[in-house]
Amino acid sequence: MKIVSYIKTIGLAIAIGVFTFSCSQEAQHETNAEANEVQTETDAEIDEAQAETNAEVNEAQTEANAEYSDFSAWVDENSKKAETATKEEWREMKAEYNRREAELDAKSNTWDEDAKQGWQSVKDRWNKTEDKVQSRLGDIDDVDVDVNVKKDKN
């Protein structure tokens, strides 16, 4: 009876070992398959996000190039007009330039290096125009001062 019991115990141990080995192999394959599926989904999401980001960057760059080009054309056109502008016309041009420059300066930190260099070139061209106009018209202040002074009669 001891021998039969001993054989049953050994058989049971072998059966448990075989089942444990087969279960862990099956679980391992399932885990790998699930991990691969999750990785594939994650890669797809990353690719989609990257495509959206690239599209947004391209759109922003296109918009920046259009704004920059419009402003560059405006500077070229008004530089020619400034050669014969009156003081009042010059004040209006300069005020418009300052407004546009402030708008584009706020956006220029997102531009690539080529656009930034072009932007600096546009500002340099305008500075040359300002120098020419100031030498022609004299020093023009942008601020109109309206002073109302009451004299004390003592």
Domain assignment present for 100 = yes
Structure tokens at 154: 């003592």
Residue 95's pLDDT is what?
Answer: 92
How far apart are alpha carbons 15 and 23 in whole angstroms? Answer: 12
Domain assignment present for 82 = yes
Check residue 112 and give left, alpha or beta (phi > 0: left; psi -120 to 50: alpha): beta
Residue 27's pLDDT is what?
Answer: 64
Model pLDDT for residues 18-64, shown as the tens digit of each residue = 767 666 666 666 767 777 777 788 877 887 878 887 777 777 677 76
Domain assignment present for 153 = no
Residue 147's pLDDT is what?
Answer: 42
How far apart are alpha carbons 110 and 132 in whole angstroms? Answer: 32
Task: Provide the domain limits for residue 15.
Answer: 2-137
Selection from 26-35, 66-75, 88-97 with the highest mean pLDDT: 88-97
Domain assignment present for 144 = no
Domain assignment present for 148 = no
Return the C-alpha torsion angle 13, 15, 20, 23, nearest 10: -170
Residues, the chain, total? Answer: 154
Show Cβ contacts of residue 48 under 8 Å, excluding neighbours closer than 6 positions.
Answer: none
Return the C-alpha torsion angle 110, 114, 119, 123, nearest 10: 140
Domain assignment present for 108 = yes
Domain assignment present for 115 = yes
Residue 23's pLDDT is what?
Answer: 63
Q: Residue 141 — very low, low, confident or very high, per pLDDT cuts 50/70/90?
A: low
Domain assignment present for 147 = no
How many domains does the chain divide into? 1
Residue 143's pLDDT is what?
Answer: 42
Model pLDDT for residues 94-128, shown as the tens digit of each residue = 999 999 888 888 887 877 788 788 888 888 999 99
Q: What is the DSSP string of 31-78?
A: HHHHHHHHHHHHHHHHHHHHHHHHHHHHHHHHHHHHHHHHHHHHHHHH
Is the pLDDT at 86 greater than 70, yes or no? yes
Q: Is the dihedral of CA 136, 138, 144, 146 positive or negative?
A: negative
